[in-house]
């Protein structure tokens, strides 16, 4: 490669909002409805003369997002008709917002936000029935938030793909924390449309291409990288003019982007204000200051708090941030334990051992904070070995019993009683003359085999360090 290339990326993200009813009618907004054309009415079926009625909750949800990303909430806002023809939008237009979006500006995860507006989702085309297509109107008229970012220039294709995903994942977290969207990518509740361009001059933007049909963060990352590298190759080969403004699809099977259609300009949509909906004065209709104050703690603030309050590893913090239920439970645990070192140990047991058990044992549940902290106290105070702690953890995620009770009943409490341990050690030494001979001949590692046997004999209740020292003394 001879030149330095600057990839630029912008993101368009759609998210279906979680509301009881649809955007302009009283039909249920149920993303899990399996029976097609169940939640429908003349409004969301686009019958002539049916009139839309605004859903205040949907607007409130978009305002919350705006407040969370430090955007400016418009005073005046209105809806517009975006005209285009497609079977999934039989009105011939989508009700969207053009000139006056609910939110302008804002920033998140190192990228600037242009706007966040509200529109309606379309119906769903099903092309999997052979010679004909079917349309399901359950999704038609579901409130849909659209967020658009400013173009951001990164250093290379790798950073671009990673940076864009960091933004998208952080937005997904915010939507979850605010409770405004399930934002499940696989279910199409959150849809990512990155647009990328590549330039040799960092101050000059080149022709951009939009990528569609992405259904996971992984695919998005790959699609972005692929597209940037495709453009660089074209420029390198002197075929830069072949880069045209278009929409490209992502082919998951081939791991490639492919040309879908040449992109329309906004003029083609002949936007105009929707005459059937009222204009809105958001600063009058909503108490924005109160809404701002009532926002829940957001991921970034929570990260900072976990860092200062608990001093745990960044990887652990990320696990708790991404699983708020687990995070809340960990906070309960930390509150009981108080001691910082114990809290760190607890965090380790949760993120490695508990989550590890959960992967293989689907019936595993979080034990009560009381029982879990009892376990942490036992292991940090050396009353049980870490081996035994892991075994007891595997039990209490099923039965949620007292670890102290289990340890006592099963005789797993670490014997600081060296007398009893000495007896067992002697027995093991006597039974293993060859290992003892190896050790005495200078093979120091041989002693570990004896430690292992003693651990087994004591069902793990012996402290390994104490046991090893005891053997060393015994074999002198
Ligand atoms: Zn309806
Ligand atoms: Mn849109």
Distance 38 CA to ligand 1 centre (A): 10
| CB atoms inside a 10 Å sphere around CB 440 | 11
φ, ψ of residue 204 to 5 degrees: the values are -120, 125
User: Is residue 422 in some structural domain?
Assistant: yes
E strand map for 63-139: 72-73, 76-77, 80-83, 93-96, 103-104, 107-108, 111-120, 124-126, 134-136
Distance 73 CA to ligand 1 centre (A): 28
Q: Cβ(112)–Cβ(149) under 8 Å?
A: yes
User: Is residue 58 in some structural domain?
Assistant: yes
Task: Tell me which ligand sits closest to the C-alpha of residue 269.
Answer: 2
| CB atoms inside a 10 Å sphere around CB 195 | 22
User: Is residue 1 in some structural domain?
Assistant: no
The DSSP H or E segment spanning 377 is helix 369-380
pTM of the model as a whole: 0.86
CA atoms within 13 A on the CB side of 244: 10
Tell which of 409, 432, 454 closes a domain. 409
- Quick one: tokens of 144? 């849909």
Task: Tell me which ligand sits closest to the C-alpha of residue 55.
Answer: 1
Distance 255 CA to ligand 2 centre (A): 25
User: Is residue 173 in some structural domain?
Assistant: yes
Distance 270 CA to ligand 1 centre (A): 25
Residues 172 and 238 in one domain: yes
Q: Cβ(407)–Cβ(388) under 8 Å?
A: yes
Residues 455 and 333 in one domain: no
Whole-number pLDDT of residue 415: 66
Tell which of 230, 258, 290 closes a domain. 290
Residues 375 and 427 in one domain: no
Distance 141 CA to ligand 1 centre (A): 7
CATH number at residue 468: 1.10.10.410
Which pLDDT tens digit goes with each residue over 160-200? 999 999 999 999 999 999 999 999 999 999 999 999 999 99
Q: How far apart are the first and last CA of the chain?
A: 67
Which pLDDT tens digit goes with each residue over 113-172? 999 999 999 999 988 888 899 999 999 999 999 999 999 999 999 999 999 999 999 999
With a cut of 80, say whether residue 455 has pLDDT above it: yes
Distance 102 CA to ligand 2 centre (A): 14
Q: What is the DSSP string of 401-446?
A: --HHHHHHHTT-S----HHHHHHHHHHHHHH-HHHHHHHHTT-TTH
Distance 44 CA to ligand 1 centre (A): 4
With a cut of 60, say whether residue 1 has pLDDT above it: no
Task: Tell me which ligand sits closest to the C-alpha of residue 25.
Answer: 1
What's the rounded Cα separation, in Å, for the pair 154 and 386? 46
Distance 25 CA to ligand 1 centre (A): 5
Whole-number pLDDT of residue 474: 87
Range of the domain at 388: 299-409
User: How far from 146 is each of 56, 66, 179, CA to CA, in Å?
Assistant: 17, 11, 16
Residues 372 and 282 in one domain: no
> Crossing angle of helices 446-457/433-440, nearest 10°?
140
């Amino acid at each position: 490669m001879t030149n330095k290339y600057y990839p630029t990326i912008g993101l368009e993200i759609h998210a279906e909002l979680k509301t009881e009813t649809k955007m302009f009618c009283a039909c249920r907004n149920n993303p899990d409805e399996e029976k097609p054309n169940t939640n429908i009415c003349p409004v969301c079926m686009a019958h002539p003369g049916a009139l839309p009625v605004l859903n205040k909750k949907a607007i409130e949800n978009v305002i919350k997002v705006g407040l969370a990303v430090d955007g400016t909430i418009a005073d005046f806002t209105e809806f517009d008709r975006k005209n285009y023809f497609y079977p999934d939008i039989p009105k011939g237009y989508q009700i969207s917002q053009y000139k006056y979006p609910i939110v302008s500006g804002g920033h998140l995860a190192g990228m600037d936000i242009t706007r966040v507006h509200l529109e309606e989702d379309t119906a769903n085309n099903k092309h999997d029935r052979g010679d004909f297509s079917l349309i399901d109107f359950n999704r038609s008229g579901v409130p849909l938030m659209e967020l658009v970012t400013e173009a951001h220039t990164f250093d290379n294709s790798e950073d671009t793909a990673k940076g864009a995903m960091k933004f998208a994942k952080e937005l997904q977290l915010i939507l979850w924390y605010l409770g405004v969207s399930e934002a499940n990518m696989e279910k199409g509740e959150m849809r990512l449309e990155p647009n990328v361009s590549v330039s040799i001059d960092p101050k000059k933007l080149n022709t951009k291409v939009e990528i569609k049909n992405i259904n996971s963060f992984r695919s998005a990352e790959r699609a972005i990288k692929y597209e940037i590298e495709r453009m660089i190759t074209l420029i390198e080969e002197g075929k830069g003019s072949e880069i045209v403004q278009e929409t490209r699809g992502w082919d998951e099977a081939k791991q490639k982007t492919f040309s879908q259609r040449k992109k329309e300009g906004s003029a083609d949509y002949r936007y105009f204000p929707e005459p059937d909906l009222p204009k809105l004065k958001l600063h009058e209709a909503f108490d924005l200051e109160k809404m701002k104050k009532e926002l829940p703690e957001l991921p970034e603030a929570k990260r900072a708090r976990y860092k200062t309050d608990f001093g745990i590893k960044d990887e652990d913090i990320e696990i708790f941030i991404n699983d708020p239920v687990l995070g809340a439970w960990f906070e309960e645990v930390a509150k009981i334990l108080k001691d910082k070192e114990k809290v760190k140990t607890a965090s380790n047991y949760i993120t490695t051992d508990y989550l590890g058990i959960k992967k293989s044992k689907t019936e595993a549940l979080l034990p009560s904070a009381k029982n879990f902290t009892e376990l942490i106290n036992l292991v940090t105070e050396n009353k049980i070995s870490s081996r035994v702690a892991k075994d007891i953890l595997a039990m209490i995620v099923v039965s949620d019993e007292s670890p102290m009770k289990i340890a006592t009943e099963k005789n797993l409490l670490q014997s600081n009683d060296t007398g009893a341990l000495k007896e067992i050690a002697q027995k093991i030494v006597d039974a293993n003359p060859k290992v003892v001979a190896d050790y005495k001949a200078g093979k120091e590692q041989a002693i570990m085999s004896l430690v292992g046997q003693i651990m087994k004999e004591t069902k793990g209740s012996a402290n390994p360090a104490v046991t090893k020292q005891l053997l060393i003394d015994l074999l002198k």
